[in-house]
Amino acid sequence: MSTNLDEELQMLADTVARYVANRSDGKANSEDGWKELAELGWLYLPYPEEVGGLGLGTAGVSAVMQGHGRGLLATPYLPFAVMAGGMLARCPRASQALAAVMEGTQRVAAAFAVGAAPTLVAQAADDGWRLAGRCNHVLAVDEADAVLALARIGASDETGLFMVRTDAPGVTVELHFLPDGRRAGCVGFDNVAVAASDRLDENGGVETLLREVEAETLLAAAADNLGAMQVLYEQTLDYAKLRKQFGRPIGSFQSLQFRLVDMWIKLDEVRSLVASAAAAPDRQEAGALAVAAWIQSIWSGRLIGEEAIQIHGAIAMTDEHAVGRYVKRILVNELVFGAPERHFSRYRSMR
User: Which of these segments, 31-39, 50-58, 125-133, 337-345, binds another protein (CB under 8 A)?
Assistant: 337-345
Q: Are 9 and 60 in contact (CB under 8 A)?
A: yes
Residue with smaller CB distance to its own copies, 2 or 254: 254
Which of positions 234-263 make contact with another protein (CB under 8 A)?
A: 237, 240-241, 244-247, 249, 251-252, 254-258, 260-262
Q: Which of 327, 329, 330, 350 binds another protein (CB under 8 A)?
A: 327
Count other Cβ atoms within 10 Å, centred on residue 32: 11
| Residue count, binding to another protein (CB under 8 A) | 70
Task: Calculate the CA 31 to chain-centre distance.
Answer: 17
DSSP β-ladder status, 146-153 and 108-111: parallel
Q: How far is the CB of 281 from another protein (least distance, A)?
A: 6
Per CB under 8 A, does 8 bind another protein? no
Does position 299 interact with its own copies (CB under 8 A)? The reply is: no
Residues 6+ apart with CB under 8 A from 195: 127, 128
The interface with another protein within residues 156-185 (CB under 8 A) comprises: 176-179, 184
| Phi, psi values for residue 179, rounded to 5° | -60, -15
Counting contacts by CB under 8 A, is residue 257 touching its own copies?
yes
Q: Which stretch binds another protein (CB under 8 A): 49-57, 126-134, 201-209, 270-278?
A: 270-278
Regarding 254 and contact with its own copies (CB under 8 A), the answer is: yes
303: which residues sit within 8 A by CB, 6+ positions away? 262, 263, 266
- Based on the shown chain and the rule CB under 8 A, indicate whether residue 203 belongs to the binding site for its own copies: no
Contact 332, 326 (CB under 8 A): no
Stretch that binds another protein, among 72-80, 81-89, 202-210, 264-272 (CB under 8 A): 264-272
Piece of the chain touching its own copies by CB under 8 A; list 249-257, 294-302, 323-331, 336-344: 249-257
The per-residue DSSP string of 10-21 comes to HHHHHHHHHHHH
CA 339 to chain centre: 14
Interface with its own copies, residue 318, by CB under 8 A = no
DSSP characters for 218-276? Answer: HHHHHHHHHHHHHHHHHHHHHHHHH-EETTEEGGGSHHHHHHHHHHHHHHHHHHHHHHH
Question: Which of its own copies, another protein, none is residue 306 near (CB under 5 to 8 Å by kind)?
Answer: another protein
**Which of 64, 108, 209, 295 touches another protein by CB under 8 A?**
295
Is residue 253 near its own copies by the rule CB under 8 A? yes
Q: Which residues make Cβ contacts (< 8 Å) with residue 73, sequence separation at least 6?
A: 20, 23, 28, 33, 67
With CB under 5 to 8 Å by kind, the binding choice for 126 among another protein, its own copies, none is: none
Contacts of 85 (CB under 8 A, 6+ apart): 43, 46, 47, 98, 101, 102, 108
Q: Give the torsion through C-alpha atoms of 78, 220, 210, 283, to 10 deg.
A: 150
Beta carbon nearer to its own copies, 203 or 254: 254
Using the contact rule CB under 8 A, the part of the chain among 50-58, 70-78, 248-256, 279-287 near its own copies is: 248-256
CB nearer to another protein: pick between 12 and 91: 12
Q: How many residues does the chain have?
A: 351
Q: Where does this chain bind another protein (CB under 8 A)?
A: 1, 6, 113, 136-137, 176-179, 184, 237, 240-241, 244-247, 249, 251-252, 254-258, 260-262, 264-265, 268-273, 275-276, 279-281, 289, 292, 295-296, 306, 309-310, 313-314, 316-321, 324-325, 327-328, 331-332, 335-336, 339, 341, 344, 347-348, 351
